[in-house]
Structure 1
Amino acid sequence: MRRGLLLLPLVLFLLMLGFLFKGLYLDNKDLPSVLVGKQFPAFSLPSVQAGESVVTEQDLLGQPSLVNVWATWCVACRVEHPVLNKLAADGVVIHGVNYKDDTESARTWLRDLHNPYQLNISDPKGLLGLDLGVYGAPETFFVDAQGVIRYKFIGVIDERVWESDLAARYQALVDEAQP
């Protein structure tokens, strides 16, 4: 009986280790978002680039786009940034949400690393991020021409992810928007 009690912590540890090990193989990229299928949240925030101009959800209408949540403090965003620059050069419409960041730091980043964003929204308090249900940066929303969120991707968009999964999703939105 006493020996069984001594083995109990080991058994519990091994069970917990098994659950954690299984979690390594779960796909966290497809976390559900309650906003998929809904209109992009209303907002009115300053632009990173222009400083004085205001960007609203109406500015996102008219063409399918990616809305990429990023920040200068985000190491993963730096990894993702060259891929976004390449996608923008290939004609993918990308808008940015500079999340909980210093606008001057964001301008320096964009000047030094190039700017893939057609619009770039400054969200220093993270209020738009909160409305979007952002877990952290980077996160990317696929938005159709009517401003409806169609897909949410959490994590770094690299060339492999773009080619294997995301390019087809974006192209479907583009094809859908064609008359």
Structure 2
Amino acid sequence: MKKQFLTPLIIFGFLVILLVVGLMKSETVRDVPSPLIGKAVPEFSILTVEDQAQSFSSEELKGQVSLVNIWASWCVSCRAEHKLLNVLAQQGVKIYGINYKDELVDARRWLSAYGNPYVKSAHDLTGRAGIDWGVYGTPETFVIDKKGMIRYKHTGPVYQDDIVDKILPLLEQLKAEA
């Protein structure tokens, strides 16, 4: 009778160990390789969340170093990173948003409730721009150089260590480039 319960318990313990090891290595999940690294941002021109009479286009990403953040009001992880994005924006980092597969009223309500760190945020209701950007889900954050080239992609929410260890040093490096 004891042996009957011992085998499932051992198997369960082994699965828990595998899960813990996988979670500890989750850093690799956030650095999903992208074929867009080193390429120009996809061309787009989309009406903004803030003002449907105004558009946001890929041309606006040229001439400055910036972040592009793919987000949605229904995205729990987006809320987790949003405070950090607000802090970055207050520090002068240019952040542009692409609101992914979200109702306009929900996106506006979300920005009103949690703050708007974006210079502009495109309203990508259909997800077409997200497809062009190679988005797997939300949130995703891209670092864009002065030439409008994608230099880095971060999949999942950005945390303080991601900002300090990767994103801010890369932004400074790109700003220093001619």
- For normalisation by structure 2, the TM-score amounts to 0.85
Letter in 2 for 1:160: D
Tell me, in whole angstroms, the C-alpha distance in 1 between the residues paired with 2:85 and 2:16. Answer: 37
Superposed CA offset, 1:145-166 (max 9, x none): 1110000001111222211222
CA separation of 1:21 and 1:143: change in aligned 2, threshold 3 A: same
- Between the aligned residues of both structures, percent identity stands at 42
Residue 23 of structure 1 and its aligned partner are, at CA, apart by: 3.6
Give, in whole Å, the separation in 2 of the partners of 1:65 and 1:141. Answer: 8
In the alignment, does 2:23 pair up with 1:24? Answer: yes
Which residue in 1 is equivalent to 2:163?
Answer: 162
User: 1:136 — aligned with what?
Assistant: 137
- Structure 2 CA distance, aligned partners of 1:94 and 1:45? 16
**Matched pairs, number:** 169
When structure 1 is superposed on structure 2, of 23-32 and 122-131 the one drifting more is 23-32
Partner of 1:48: 49
Q: Tell me the CA shift for residue 172 of structure 1.
A: 1.1
Q: What are the ranges of 5 or more consecutive residues in structure 1 without an aligned counterpart? A: 1-11
Q: Are residues 161 and 18 of structure 1, via their aligned partners in 2, closer, same or farther at CA, if it must alter by over 3 Å?
A: same
Report the CA distance shift for 1:107/1:17 in structure 2 as closer, same or farther (over 3 A): closer
Secondary structure of 1:24's match? helix
Quick one: which amino acid aligns to residue 56 of structure 1?
Answer: S
Using the TM superposition, give the Cα deviation of residue 18 of structure 1 relative to its aligned residue in structure 2, in angstroms.
Answer: 7.7
Instruction: Identify if the C-alpha distance between structure 1 residues 171 and 22 changes in structure 2 by more than 3 Å, giving closer, same or farther.
Output: same
**Superposition misfits of 4+ residues, deviation over 3 angstroms:** 12-26
Report the 3-state secondary structure (helix = DSSP H, G, I; strand = E; otherwise coil) of the residue aligned with 2:96: strand
* 1:3 aligned residue: none
Please give the root-mean-square deviation of Cα atoms over the aligned residues, in Å: 2.2
Q: Which amino acid aligns with 2:170?
A: R
